Amino acid sequence: MKKNTVVEIETTAESLLTGEDAAIQSIECVVKTLGTDAASGISETEAISRIKRFGRNELEDEKSAPFIVKLLNQFKDFLILILIVAAVISAALGEVFDASIILAIVVINAFLGAIQENRAEKALEALK
């Protein structure tokens, strides 16, 4: 016979503020743990105290890498390197068509990855 067990999760303000388990808690639990009021929020003094303790709720500004760097970074993936080696081996064995198809796919994948990374950075920038 199976016995159902309930696992209780100890929640601390620090774990909620880092997002470790806030998503699985009720609103009431989060409000209580963070010592706030859902309707009125926290006092200005408490806000200043929390800014000193945890920092501002802001995304850090990071300098965007040039497109060429993003493109070249796409070739660092282990599976991509395996495909490049496979293309070189295919070419060495005289299978030029196979090698060119593999390389074309790798290059297209790299461009798509770099473009996607650019779009993600722009979306993140729009959130700031």
Assess contact for 113 and 72: CB atoms under 8 A.
no
Question: How many residues are listed for the chain in this entry?
Answer: 128
* All structural domains of the chain with their residue ranges: 13-54, 67-127
At 9-42, the pLDDT tens digits run: 455 556 655 666 677 888 888 888 888 888 888 8
User: What is the Cα Rg of the chain in Å?
Assistant: 25
At 81-97, the pLDDT tens digits run: 999 999 999 999 999 99
On whether the pTM is more than 0.85, the answer is no
Please enumerate in sequence order all residues whose Cβ is within 8 A of that of 98, keeping only pairs 6 or more positions apart, or say none. Answer: 87, 90
